[in-house]
Amino acid sequence: MMQDTIAAIATGAGRSAIGIVRLSGPDALSGVERLFTPASGRKLSEYPPSSLVYGVLRDAEGRVIDHCLATYSLAPRSYTGEHTAELQCHGSPAVLHSALEALFTLGIRQAEAGEFTRRAFLNQRMDLTQAEAVIDLIDAETAAAARCAASQLGGALRRRIEGIYDDLVNLMAHFDVVLDYSDEDLDPFDEAEITTSVGKAAEELRQLAATYRRGRRLYDGVPCAIVGQPNSGKSSLLNAILGYDRAIVTDIPGTTRDTVEEKAVVGGVLLRLIDTAGLRDTEDTVERIGVERSRQALERAELALVLIDGTRPITDEDRAILAMAQQVPEVIVLATKADRPAFVLPELAQVFACSSVTGEGMEQLEREIAARFPEGTADQGEILTSQRQAQAIARAGECLQAVFDAMAMGMTPDAVLSDVELAMDALGEVIGRSVKEDVTQRIFDRFCVGK
């Protein structure tokens, strides 16, 4: 356990019904007992751990701060693995800061960002994938992202990686035993065992690495470019999806000169919507820059919403944009302005009418997007969600490929297996068995104070 005791406000800024001050460290319980008096007259420590006790909170000079609830847990059966305590006060910022200041007068210090979860990791209450899942759960913007983070918090990703790690440990252990006890009647160690074990691990790593794209979609959103000719209704569609006027809409072609990005959940899928400038040849310098950025947005997109003005015949320019969008993995074609009297649905495959004014077609759009980007199966927690994880898994895979390269060159088992050890080191970085301090610091820098 750490030698000092930390405290922080664990609830969000602003007024609320309840606000929580959290403590962790050797003086967590004794510190709260010096300021909190249960209404029963007993000490808080006389109640069983995890009991919720009503009483009065006072500062170091005996002035009443609040009538509130308190609870505590004893090491190692707590979130951090240390003695912990919580004061559940009324959610006035003034009350919470007064409680915190009173604790500081007792020698308890302000917690740093993510320090509670960092202590949980250092005290082996969770591994690094679970620690990262905590912040992912806080940041989750969709139900699917929250379920994935909750599954990882329960150890789903750790178990998958530990299975690969342990298989490689068994391989190394067999080699060491045969080497150290060559006179004993042991199963021989041969090239076939290396090929089988390493091949199995390499394939599992390949499958795991392939999950990173889906994992990032859950939290960053699917890059979605809204493209079409000027005045085809792109900004109107963006505003309709968001539910407020984010982009300027006029009847003047070329109103949008730059890309406008916002996130929205559509059909249960988090989209990173990019409203682009109308794609056309133009002599206007500013608009031309906007058109080029639109083309770049289309190149990065995983979903393209191609808009065609349904109040006029389809043009060669529309067809050129449709052809350009074919580079995007998923394309949905919308005929806009379905509320206008002159509307005619273009004769194209897989196109449907929509109106940003009446909402026609919006439910169908949601269904289409949900079908293109399904949430996945129950194993969703067994996916990579951070670049750190993906890079370490890729490095482990490269080390195992080096094993096969070394075998092809006729190198001895001890030289070959040195690459297996490097792969194990990379896997250990993912779950925290072997990780540098600077990597750990970067992970917990993402956290808010109080978590």
User: For residue 333, what pLDDT is reported?
Assistant: 95
Mean pLDDT over 237-241 rounds to 90
- The alpha carbon of 90 is separated from its chain's Cα centroid by a whole number of angstroms, namely 31
* pLDDT level of residue 40 (50, 70, 90 thresholds): very high
Cβ proximity of 72 and 29 under 8 Å? yes
What is the share, in percent, of the chain residues with pLDDT greater than 90?
Answer: 56
What is the strand order of the sheet 84-91 is part of? 36-38, 53-58, 64-73, 84-91, 16-24, 6-9, 109-110
Mean pLDDT of all residues in 151-169 = 92
Give the alpha-carbon dihedral of 420, 421, 427, 433, to 10 degrees.
160
- Which of 94-103, 319-328, 439-448 has the weakest average pLDDT? 439-448
Confidence (pLDDT) at 14: 85
pLDDT in tens, 176-225: 665 544 555 545 556 777 888 899 999 999 999 999 988 988 888 999 99
Which range (47-61, 289-303, 356-370) has the least confidence? 289-303
Model confidence, pTM: 0.78
Task: State residue 288's pLDDT score.
Answer: 59
Tens digits of residue pLDDT in 93-130: 999 999 999 999 999 999 999 999 999 999 999 999 99
Of 353 and 287, the structure prediction assigns the larger pLDDT to 353
Peptide bond into 313 cis (omega under 30): no
Q: Residue 30 above 90 pLDDT?
A: yes
Helix, strand and coil content of the chain, in percent to the nearest 5, comes to 45, 20, 35
Cα 144 to the center of its chain, rounded Å: 11
pLDDT in tens, 356-371: 999 999 999 999 999 9
Q: Which residue has the higher pLDDT, 83 or 240?
A: 83
Does pLDDT of 299 surpass 90? no
Share of the chain above pLDDT 70, in %: 85
Q: What is the pLDDT of residues 55-79, one digit of tens each?
A: 999 999 999 999 999 999 999 999 9
The DSSP call for residue 332 is E
Which residues lie below 8 Å from residue 136, measured CB to CB, with a gap of 6+?
Answer: 145, 148, 149, 152, 219, 385
d(CA 247, CA 129): 39
Model confidence at 442, in pLDDT bands (50, 70, 90)?
low
Judged against a pLDDT cut of 70, whether residue 434 lies above it is answered with: no
**Looking at the predicted structure, is the pLDDT value of residue 258 above 60?**
no
pLDDT of residue 49: 96
Mean pLDDT over the full length of the chain: 86
Task: List pLDDT tens digits, range 4-18.
Answer: 999 999 998 889 999
What is the model's pLDDT at position 252?
A: 43
Q: What pLDDT is attached to residue 249?
A: 46
What's the pLDDT band for 248 if we cut at 50, 70, 90? very low
